[in-house]
Amino acid sequence: MPPRWSIALAAILLTGLSGTAQATPECRVRILRPVTDDLGNRWRTGKILPTTLERETRGRTYFCAEHGSCIPATINRKPAARLLDCTRGRAVSPGDYLLVPVRHRQR
């Protein structure tokens, strides 16, 4: 006969695994022209990348991944990256703004 704690643990695990997973919305940017981020990575046109922060520094705007690289929003005054389904949220420090997913109604 299995110990009671193993039966209880199995019940908890099965209950937790049987729920429907909800996708967590995340902010993303679409690369509009080939661009190099601040870490030296090259990104091709059409690539979609996650982003969590919009940074304004020295008159330029960047989209930054959490604990990652930053991509310029423009290159030579032409758009290089565009936010997808997100908007600028509250400031978290001077020049840094959280990005907030735009919620769409489900039909």
pLDDT in tens, the chain (107 residues): 444 444 443 443 344 444 444 445 689 999 999 999 999 999 999 999 999 999 999 999 999 998 789 999 999 999 999 999 899 999 999 999 999 998 765 55
So what's the pLDDT on residue 17? Answer: 43
The pLDDT of residue 15? 40
* 34 neighbors 45 (Cβ within 8 angstroms): yes
Helices (H), the chain: 4-18
Choose among 33, 99, 44, 102: nearest CA to 66: 99
Are residues 99 and 54 in contact, defined by beta-carbon separation less than 8 angstroms?
yes
Q: What is the pLDDT of residue 5?
A: 43
Number of C-beta neighbours around residue 97 at 10 A: 17
Residue with tokens 């996708």: 23
Per-residue model confidence (pLDDT) at position 4: 47
State the pLDDT at residue 25. 61
pTM (predicted TM-score): 0.72
